[in-house]
Every structure is written in C-alpha cells, then in structure tokens.
Amino acid sequence: MKAILTTPPKGGVKIAEIKLREEKGLRLRTLRTGICGTDKEIVEGRLNFARTETGNELVLGHEALAIVEDSGDSNEFKKGDIVVPMVRRPGNCRMCRLGRQDYCEDGDFVEAGIRGKDGFMREEFYDKEKFLVKVNDKSIADLAVLTEPMKNVMKMVEIFNFQRNRIPTYCDDSTMNCKNLYVFGTGTEGLLISAVFKTMGLNVIAVNRHPPDDTVAKFLEINDINYLDTSKESISSHSKKYKMDFAIDAVGSMDIMRDISLNISNNGISILFGTSGQMPSSNYEFLGNLVDKNIAVIGSVDGAKVHYAEAIEFISNYGRKMSLDRLITGIYKPEETGIFTNKEKGEIKKVIQWS
C-alpha cells in the first residue's frame, strides 16, 4: 500500500509502497489526512523530537479520518463506521493511566506520525478501539478531518472555563458579551479557536502582523470575528480602546507573550498554545506584570479523548453554519508530496484524499 514517509530527525518526504503490519484491533482504511505546521517541520528536519517507531523511516500524519474495514472483536464499532484516531498514546505514568496523556507527567508517551509511532498517511492501518472516536453524523465527514486540531481548542475551553469560574469574570448581566478575547494567529488553529470561542458569546479579535488574505477575511466576516492588523495598529493602542480581557496565543512567540502581559486587563486569562521553538529572550521584566495583574497564564498541549468527542460534536453542530469548509483550502493526492514544502496562496488547511 501507499504511504508517505519521512526520515527523522533529518526529514525529507517521499511516497513509497509499504506492507500493512498486522496488529491487534480494528483494520481501518484512511479517508483523509490533514497537514499542519508540525508535519512541515518534521519534513524540513526542524522538529528534534521526531522519531521512528521501527527502522529509520516514519509514516507521517497525525490528523486523520478513517473508515472501519474490519471491526475485529469490537463491540463499539462496526464495518463502515467513520472514526478519528487519537494522536497521543499513553505511557505508564499516573496521568497516562487515567486517560489524560495530554497531562503526561514523565514524557513517556508516543504520538502517531510525530514521535515513536507510525502515523496515518497510508492507505490502511490497525488501531485499538480505545484510541478511536466515532463520527456519528456522516454528513460532516468532509469536515471531520479538522477534529484533531479542534480537540486542542476543546481542551482550551475546559481550561478557560475552570479559570473563569474561579474568578467570576463575566459581564454585569452574567453573559460574556462585553468581554474581548484576542486570538493571536490566523492559521487553522487560530481560526478554530476564534470560531469556538465566538460561539461562547465572547467578542473575538483575531490578530496577525499583516492584512488578512481573502480566505481568512471571508471566514472572519461570516462568523462576525474582528481582525487586528498589528502593522496598522499596535496591540497597546487597540487594547487601550477595547480592553483585552482574555488572550490565546496560537503562534508561540515571546514577543506575543510580552504583548499580552503588558496589555491584558487585571484578572485576565491567557492561554499559551503556540510552540514555535523560539527561545526566550534575556528580558523577563514583563513577567512581573503577570504577577501584579493576577494573570492566569496556562500552557496547553494536546487533549484527551473527551475533547475529540466534543470536537466532533462542535463540527456537527456548527461546521456548516460557521463555514468551516472554508478552512480546507486544498485537497490533494498522496503522490503530491510537494505540498509539504510549498506554501500556496491563501493556504490554511491542506488535506490529502486517500480514498
């Protein structure tokens, strides 16, 4: 069968014929896989923790949608069910054993298509039922490839609600209509964050350093999300006018962390999701601001099985209404491996169609 392979940590990408390795569990046929920044970093040899499962090649792909070909002895799934496989697989620590490998204590987990486990960019694979989440609403099958990046957002909602209830930061009428959330980054993750938090009744401001391209602008307009182009107006000037109550970073830059800490309101909540590998600068003075303003800064990575299920439910409820299809800006064949290194005009999410 066809598979897309890389050689970590060196990188590179090629399509090749490999044998289907028989494993315990269900046999699945890949429908779609999404490409994200992590895949590109692995291909470019910039992700130093990328590693193979066996041998010296890794099957790429951690965002996937698949169909059950053979359900084995599963009670939960049957042939023809559409599923999303989970990326991170537990090690043996306490949190991993609790099903919360997103809060792994010792780093002893593997991640499909990234570190220590072959991914889903291949025609078929085997997986255990506990790592599969069913897409009951088959009418959203074209969008459900967004489940994996969306589950990260559902975990952010969990964190956000926890902190928001601890210090009641809502408006006088008990809603969040008067509260502003600044979302840094307008790639797939940034736009999914903006979309989900918009449905929670917040006023959302998507932030980037340049004007939005047409695809992004249209998506924001449909969903009534505002845009701040920091090449035209600075964060500090904008947040003086509108008040930065909450902030989520999907970029991963220390400059953004500084901008947030200097401009966010007292008792603000700031969730840091982005990881760009940018090293902290020597100037930590801005961190004092976080202390004085009681800012909750929370790092967030990955999500648990429950967040995958919530992601699928969100896509089912809001996918069409919020035009999430506009985020899928290109559908390609597995052979078109140039898509890992090229950046198309207006590119947000590229998807490979397997069958």
> Which residues of the shown chain bind Zn ion in the complex (CB under 5 A)?
91, 93, 96, 104
φ, ψ at 322 (rounded to 5°): -95, 10
Distance CA 180, CA 245 (A): 5
Q: How many helices (H) and strands (E) does the chain have?
A: 9, 19
Closer residue to Zn ion (CB): 60 or 96: 96
Closer residue to Zn ion (CB): 36 or 93: 93
Closer residue to Zn ion (CB): 96 or 176: 96
Least distance from Zn ion to the Cβ atom of residue 29, Å: 30
Closer residue to Zn ion (CB): 105 or 336: 105
8: left (phi over 0), alpha (psi -120 to 50) or beta: beta
CA dihedral sign, ordered 10, 15, 18, 22: positive
CA–chain centroid gap for 307, Å, is 11
Closer residue to Zn ion (CB): 64 or 96: 96
List 260's β-bridge partners, or say none: none
Nearest in space to 50 (alpha carbons), one of 144, 120, 117, 138: 117
DSSP H helical ranges for 184-322: 188-199, 214-222, 235-242, 254-263, 286-292, 305-318
Tell me how long the chain is: 355
φ, ψ at 92 (rounded to 5°): -115, 5
Least distance from Zn ion to the Cβ atom of residue 88, Å: 9
Least distance from Zn ion to the Cβ atom of residue 93, Å: 3
Least distance from Zn ion to the Cβ atom of residue 104, Å: 3
Nearest in space to 87 (alpha carbons), one of 105, 66, 113, 121: 113
Burial 121-140 (b: 16+ CB within 10 A, else e): bbebbbbebebbbbbebeeb
Closer residue to Zn ion (CB): 96 or 216: 96
Least distance from Zn ion to the Cβ atom of residue 101, Å: 6
Q: Determine the angle formed by the axes of helices 305-318 and 188-199, rounding to 10 degrees.
A: 70
Least distance from Zn ion to the Cβ atom of residue 108, Å: 5
In the chain, % helix, strand, coil (3-state, to 5) comes to 30, 30, 40
Closer residue to Zn ion (CB): 100 or 179: 100
Cα→Cα distances 19→16, 53, 59, 123, Å: 10, 15, 12, 10
Least distance from Zn ion to the Cβ atom of residue 151, Å: 18
Closer residue to Zn ion (CB): 40 or 307: 307
Least distance from Zn ion to the Cβ atom of residue 51, Å: 16
Closer residue to Zn ion (CB): 100 or 198: 100
Least distance from Zn ion to the Cβ atom of residue 198, Å: 34
**32: CB partners within 8 A, 6+ apart:** 64, 65, 145, 351, 352, 353, 354
